């Protein structure tokens, strides 16, 4: 009967741990990226005794020692993917894990809300771990935008024009032509056009002035049959500045510029310039391939490394650490790749993965554990009553 009490106590202890697992699942029903665990129970040591011989073989009496809480089995089913306001918030639709660096240790997560730290590294807001990418050598490295907060200026080398300079116009000008020197300094030019057919029909005088209205260059364009004549379809402009090297610019009229008659109305305009000022980082985003894009105030964009995703042959063997993190120290090394490659799922930016807790299933498990606890408690009570009765019988004797 003492053995029965110990067996009943093993049930009470095991079901208490099972209830703890269920309670943790329910408590994390709104925790992003949380994965539930299912309690698993195991029977423990069986002994045996030999009874008196039977006509054929010795009789054996087997007895067990109760139950123990074996382990908690992870449930890696996909949680709901929900849209988020954070452009660097990440979720995965399908297989795979985000790779995070904790010093020399590697951790994994199904979702995360990321931001740029003071040191330029992209880090998880909750755990502070660094988001990892694969470098050219195939090794993991922390994603950093250090040194990329600014977009350096680029000097203008060409200004391209398009549309029609009417042959019937007496004059025309294209104002507000913004160009930039090597230091990012902005210069605003105006190009004025006047017909000059004294030498040849279709000839135009072009005068380029700066923002103070001072002439920078005077040159000519030559049209033949309504289109620019090769060799006379561009004008070279040189600007000088006290704080930048001389700026040489080509005004290009060879692509789409015409000289057909449209009365006094001309539609000639600038279609493209290739220079820009210095810019500051204004926003970050992640595309479907997991590549981080940078946008600057000068209209330029840049891209940095691809987010590394990890795929495990048996993710159920991962160890849950808290904060949505998993440890893979005791499982085979994962295969790394980019979003959507191989067996990896699709990385989703501006989204998070919700918990995969199913309340109806958890409550069903809780009822079973409660019944097991009650039954084990009843065994202890009954065995105790039998022992008390035995003691009373001995006293009466």
User: Do 267 and 162 lie in a common domain?
Assistant: yes
Q: What is the pLDDT of residue 52?
A: 60
CA dihedral of residues 90, 96, 98, 104 (deg, nearest 10) = 180
Give the residues across from 31 on adjacent strands.
Answer: none
Cα–Cα distance measured from residue 179 to residue 187, given in angstroms and rounded to the nearest whole number: 5
User: Do 169 and 225 lie in a common domain?
Assistant: yes
Q: What is the pLDDT of residue 53?
A: 58
User: What is the β-pairing status of strands 186-195 and 279-286?
Assistant: unpaired
Cα–Cα distance measured from residue 374 to residue 165, given in angstroms and rounded to the nearest whole number: 94
Q: What is the pLDDT of residue 101?
A: 95
User: Do 339 and 367 lie in a common domain?
Assistant: no
Structural tokens at position 379: 């065994």
Judge whether 389 lies within some domain: yes
Our CA angle for 103, 302, 176, nearest 5°, is: 150
Cα–Cα distance measured from residue 279 to residue 154, given in angstroms and rounded to the nearest whole number: 11
Q: What is the pLDDT of residue 6?
A: 87
Give residue 48's domain range: 2-76+358-396
Structural tokens at position 260: 């057909």
Structural tokens at position 149: 């907060």
> Which residue is it, tokens 């709901």?
80
User: Do 134 and 172 lie in a common domain?
Assistant: no
Phi, psi (5° rounding) for residue 9?
-65, -35
Judge whether 304 lies within some domain: no
Cα–Cα distance measured from residue 113 to residue 179, given in angstroms and rounded to the nearest whole number: 40
Q: What is the pLDDT of residue 340?
A: 85
User: Do 108 and 32 lie in a common domain?
Assistant: no
User: Do 268 and 205 lie in a common domain?
Assistant: yes
Judge whether 29 lies within some domain: yes
User: Do 101 and 120 lie in a common domain?
Assistant: yes
Question: Which of 320, 338, 353 marks a domain boundary?
Answer: 353
Instruction: State the SS3 of the chain.
Output: CHHHHHHHHHHHHHHHHHHHHHHHHHHCCCCCCCCCEEEEEEECCEEEEEEEECCCCEEEEEEECCEEEEEEEECCCCCCEEECCCCCEEEEECCCEEEEEECCEEEEECEEEEEECCCCEEEECCCCCEEEEECCCCCEEECECCCCCEECCECCCEEEEEEECCCCCCCEEEEEEEEECCCCCEEEEEEEEEECCCCCCCEEEEEEECCCCCEEEEEEEEEECCEECCCCCEEEEEEEECCEEEEEEEEECCCCEECCCECECCCCEEEEECCECCEEEEEEEECCCCEEEEEECCCCEEEEEEECEEECCCHHHCEEEECCEEECCCCCCCEEECCCCCCCCEEEECEEECCCCCHHHHHHHHHHHHHHHHHHHHHHHHHHHHHHHHHHHHHHC
CA distances from 188 to 59, 191, 269 (A): 107, 10, 15
Q: What is the pLDDT of residue 387?
A: 83
User: Do 170 and 264 lie in a common domain?
Assistant: yes
Judge whether 285 lies within some domain: no
User: Do 245 and 331 lie in a common domain?
Assistant: no
Phi, psi (5° rounding) for residue 254?
-85, -10
Q: What is the CATH number of the domain that holds 237?
A: 2.60.98.20
Q: What is the pLDDT of residue 139?
A: 85
User: Do 163 and 268 lie in a common domain?
Assistant: yes
For the chain, which residues score pLDDT lower than 50? Answer: none
Phi, psi (5° rounding) for residue 27?
-65, -25
User: Do 172 and 259 lie in a common domain?
Assistant: yes
Judge whether 298 lies within some domain: no
Residue 143 near residue 119, CB atoms below 8 Å: no
Our count of domains for the chain comes to 3
CA distances from 72 to 26, 36, 111, 250, 363 (A): 15, 9, 22, 71, 17
Residue 301 near residue 206, CB atoms below 8 Å: no
Judge whether 323 lies within some domain: yes
pTM metric for this prediction: 0.75
User: Do 102 and 187 lie in a common domain?
Assistant: no
Judge whether 56 lies within some domain: yes
Residue 178 near residue 159, CB atoms below 8 Å: no
Judge whether 369 lies within some domain: yes
């Amino acid at each position: 009967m003492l053995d029965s009490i110990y067996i009943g106590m093993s049930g009470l202890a095991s079901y208490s741990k099972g209830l703890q697992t269920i309670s943790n699942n329910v408590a994390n029903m709104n925790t992003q990226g949380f994965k539930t665990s299912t309690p698993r129970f195991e029977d423990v040591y069986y002994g045996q005794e030999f009874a008196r011989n039977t006509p054929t073989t010795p009789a054996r009496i087997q007895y067990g020692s109760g139950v123990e809480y074996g382990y908690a089995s992870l449930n890696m089913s996909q949680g709901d993917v929900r849209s988020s306001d954070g452009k660097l918030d990440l979720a995965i639709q399908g297989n795979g894990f985000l790779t995070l660096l904790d010093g020399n240790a590697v951790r994994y997560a199904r979702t995360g809300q990321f931001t740029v730290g003071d040191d330029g590294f992209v880090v998880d807001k909750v755990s502070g771990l660094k988001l990892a990418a694969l470098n050219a050598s195939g090794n993991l490295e922390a994603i950093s935008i250090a040194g990329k907060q600014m977009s350096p200026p680029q000097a203008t080398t060409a200004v391209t024009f398009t549309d029609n300079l009417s042959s019937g116009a007496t004059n025309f000008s294209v104002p507000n032509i913004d160009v930039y020197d090597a230091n990012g300094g902005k210069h605003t030019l105006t190009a004025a056009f006047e017909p000059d057919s004294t030498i040849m029909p279709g000839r135009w005088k072009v005068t380029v002035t700066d923002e103070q209205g001072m002439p920078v260059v005077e040159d000519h364009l030559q049209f033949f049959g309504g289109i620019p004549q090769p060799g006379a379809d561009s004008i070279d402009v040189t600007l000088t500045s006290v704080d930048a090297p001389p700026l040489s610019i080509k005004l290009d009229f060879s692509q789409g510029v015409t000289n057909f008659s449209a009365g006094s109305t001309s539609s000639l305009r600038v279609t493209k310039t290739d220079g820009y000022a210095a810019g500051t980082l204004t926003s970050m985003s992640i595309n479907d391939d997991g590549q981080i894009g940078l946008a600057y105030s000068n209209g330029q964009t840049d891209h940095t490394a691809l987010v590394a995703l990890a795929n495990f042959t048996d993710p159920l063997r991962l160890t849950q650490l808290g904060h949505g993190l998993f440890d893979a120290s005791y499982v085979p090394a994962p295969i790394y790749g980019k979003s959507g490659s191989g067996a990896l799922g699709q990385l989703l930016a501006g989204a998070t993965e919700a918990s995969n807790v199913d309340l109806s299933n958890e409550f069903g498990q809780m009822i079973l554990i409660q019944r097991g606890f009650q039954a084990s408690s009843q065994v202890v009570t009954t065995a105790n009553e039998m022992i008390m009765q035995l003691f009373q019988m001995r006293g009466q004797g």
